[in-house]
Amino acid sequence: MQYETLPDGGRIPVLGLGTWQMGGGGSADYSRDDEMVSIIEQAIEMGYTHIDTAEGYGKTHCEELVGSAMKAFPRGDLFITTKVSPDHLYYDDVHTAINGSLKRLGTDYVDLYLIHWPNDRIPQEETFRALNELAADGRVRRVGVSNYSVAQMQEAMELCKAPIATNQVRYNLLDRTPMQNGVLEFCRRNGIPLTAYTPIKGGVLDDPTVQKIAQNRGCTPSQVAIYWLIQQPGVITIPMSQNLKHLRDNINALKLDLSDEEIRRLDAIQS
């Protein structure tokens, strides 16, 4: 596995396992629990030691599935990220949320705790008062944000006593929003890794340039799309799949080595 350095000097794998829709989407789905736990376990065995989940996934059920899969592995070998929902950003609600997440995950700490989405109705001062306490007492090793603008990140950095560990945003070959709105450049300037979610969604795999490079290289379009992200300084990604073959293909993007000319062709893709 390859790693990016976090602002506190720790390391985070450049490729993690996204778990959205494992155990349900907007509601819990218990019909495939054994299958989902097995997939997560096998993904960890493949090398996906960074697992990204959230209390909002499957109405908390996804965390339960991740917790079941984690039991088969030493806790110290795993990097677990979860997220507090935007409706739970009041001080007391943050404490309640993390305690629920820890119980479902079966652990006494998470490696990274993110604000899933900003909520303009709740002052960030209120949220970070709780997050600072969680970081101080060890329930949370690192604090980060998701779907934050530059201005929101600046405020968060002022309020957080520890360095903001990441900003998790939508970013892929066809969605260059973090480049366009300054988030990527801001993260790089401040030594904050950017976590790209949905790296292979939105028609990315159907793009002719992606398909041509994959054909020439004898690899999959998903590997090309993932490699384009992780070869960028300060960028990591968390592709999601419930297909074991796709999981193996995705992690094998780490073995790819595209040429500068191929990267330039991918850079030139118009969203």
CB 6 within 8 A of CB 12: yes
User: Choosing from 48, 57, 113, 171, which is the catalytic residue?
Assistant: 57
Structure tokens at 200: 């292979």
Taking the chain, what is the end-to-end CA distance rounded to the nearest angstrom?
A: 30
Q: What distance in Å separates the CA atoms of residue 167 and residue 114, rounded to the nearest whole number?
A: 8
Residue 124 near residue 157 (C-beta atoms within 8 A): no
Written as one letter, the residue type at 207 is D
> Is residue 57 annotated as a catalytic residue, yes or no?
yes
Rounded CA separation 59/88 (Å): 13
- Contact partners, residue 182, CB within 8 Å, separation at least 6: 150
Q: With CA atoms as reference, report the closest residue to 156 among 121, 134, 123, 109.
A: 123
What are the residue numbers of the active site?
A: 57
